A and B are shown apart, each in its own frame.
Chain A
Amino acid sequence: MTEMQLLARGIALAGCGIGAGLAVIAGIGPGIGEGNCAARACEVIGRNPECKSDVTSTMILGIALSETTGIYGFVTALLLLFAAPGMFMKFLG
């Protein structure tokens, strides 16, 4: 394998790694949002302890829905780590 090919492979794999790391930064959003949601749920339960199970199940539903964008970032990072190197190696020969 020539030096240029090795260099090209190195750059491609480095790009995959850096991209995967950057992609998981998307986890900040759901963290803040779900913490907010749980805080409001705790406040409401504190004011009105009877509706605890209703509020809890609604909170779980809201959390699972707002988890979506964090999961997008995670799946992008997984694709970059496990599926992209194979694809790039096919391009670069």
Chain B
Amino acid sequence: MDIEINGARILATFEDVPLFGTVQISQTLLVSWIVMILISALCIWLGSNLRVTGISRKQAVAEMLYTSLVKFVRGNMGPNFDRYIPLVGTIFITSIVSNLISLLGIWSPTADLMTELAWALVVFVLITYHKIKASGFGGYMKGFLDPIAVMAPLNVMSELFTPISMACRHFGNILSGMVISVLIYAALTVGSSALFGLLGSSLLAALAIALVGGILIFFGKKTGKKFWFVLGIILAVLGVCAALTNLGAAYPWLIVGIPAIPSLYFDWFGGCIQAFIFCTLTTLFIKQAAGD
């Protein structure tokens, strides 16, 4: 069982570029550009041919997406922060598409901490700007001495920890999903070679299992009992795969379909929730920074 879990692979290296020196193109950069092109194409398509009355279904979907985004931002930040609606929407859709692109087998750029750190840096700059705008630069500095002056290092650390924790939370969830998928695939590959090696060691046994499976399918269909039907399907599939393994066409059949079940939690649920939480925290922190 050879498991390789690495960071983003570096695809190309350019030496002696005039301003930057050595430039390395990694998978993160490439897939980020693909994600950006996908989202831009989607947005251009959704926003084309808009009409005021008699709208098409595409326009109805676009309006529904936009109104839920505006409701989300206004619900968290109040009505005075409309200029942050594009930022929150961008982070949200980029995060969701980047997380879900791993379902297509492509390296997801959010599995690289640098992507999330970039978004968190933008949010940190906005938070600091609003704090300075609310109480002036002197007030911002004095805010670190808030309860007593000895607490200053702790306050500075907690200030710096806010964007880092937002980035690490998102990154950790996506990375753990990726690692668990790799481990599940490796385990199912080993398990399937053991199982079909055992069952397929004699062609007769494999065909007998497939035959029993076929009989049980027929039996289950006739009597209408689901249990025999499902058992028959499982036995027939196992028998056919074992027979194929015996005849030399071995393939780890257990990896077809079974990893989709944990991927429902890790990729779909985890990816969407983390994007939502990043945007919620962005809005709440900016509101809090501008409010006091």
- Interface members, chain B 270-285 (any A CB < 8 Å): 273-274, 276-277, 280
Q: How far is the CB of B179 from chain A (nearest CB, A)?
A: 6
For B175, the chain A residues whose CB sits under 8 A away are 75, 78
Q: Does A1 touch B at the CB level, under 8 Å?
A: no
Which B residues between 1 and 29 are near A, CB-CB below 8 angstroms? 5-7
A68, A75, A78, A83: the one contacting B165 at CB < 8 Å is: A68
Complex Cα distance A92/B209, Å? 55
- Which A residues lie within 8 Å of B171 (CB)? 75
Chain B residue at smallest Cβ distance from A57: B276
- A91 CB-CB contact with B under 8 Å: no
Across chains A and B, the number of contacting residue pairs, with CB separation under 8 Å, is: 36
B273–A71 CB distance below 8 A = no
A72 B273 Cβ-Cβ under 8 A: no
Is residue A67 contacting chain B, with contact meaning CB distance below 8 A?
yes
Number of chain B residues whose Cβ lies closer than 8 Å to a Cβ of chain A:
17
Query: Does B287 lie at the interface of the complex (its beta carbon under 8 Å from any beta carbon of A)?
Result: no
A82 touches B173 (CB 8 A): no
Shortest CB-to-CB span from A75 to chain B, Å, is: 4
Q: Contact string, A55-66, partner B, CB cutoff 8 A, digits 1/0?
A: 000001100110
**Chain A residues positioned under 8 Å from B168 (CB to CB):** 68, 71-72, 75
Which single member of A60, A61, A67, A83 contacts B173 (CB below 8 Å)? A67
A61 & B280 in contact (Cβ 8 Å cutoff): yes
Return the CB mask of B160-177 against A: 1 if under 8 Å, else 0: 000001001101110110
The answer to whether A64 and B172 touch across the interface, beta carbons within 8 angstroms, is no
Q: How far is the CA of A3 from the CA of B9 in the complex (A)?
A: 34
Report how many residues on chain A are interfacial, defined by Cβ distance under 8 Å: 13
Tell me the chain A residues, 44-59 only, with Cβ under 8 Å from chain B. none
Distance between Cα atoms of A79 and B176 in the complex (Å): 11
Q: Could you tell me the distance between the alpha carbons of A19 and B241 in the complex, rounded to whole angstroms?
A: 42
Distance in angstroms from B107 CB to nearest chain A CB is 16
Are A64 and B273 in contact, CB atoms less than 8 angstroms apart?
yes
Bound-state CA distance A75–B269 (Å) is 19
Which positions in B face A, CB cutoff 8 Å?
A: 5-7, 165, 168-169, 171-173, 175-176, 179, 273-274, 276-277, 280
Residues of A within 8 A of B (CB): 60-61, 64-65, 67-68, 71-72, 74-75, 78, 82-83
Shortest 7 CB-CB contacts between residues of A and residues of B:
A71-B172, A75-B172, A68-B169, A82-B5, A64-B273, A64-B277, A74-B176
A selection of 24 A-B contacts at a CB cut-off of 8 Å is A60-B273, A61-B277, A61-B280, A64-B274, A65-B169, A65-B277, A67-B169, A68-B165, A68-B168, A68-B169, A71-B169, A71-B172, A71-B173, A71-B176, A72-B172, A74-B172, A74-B176, A75-B171, A75-B175, A78-B175, A78-B176, A78-B179, A82-B5, A82-B6
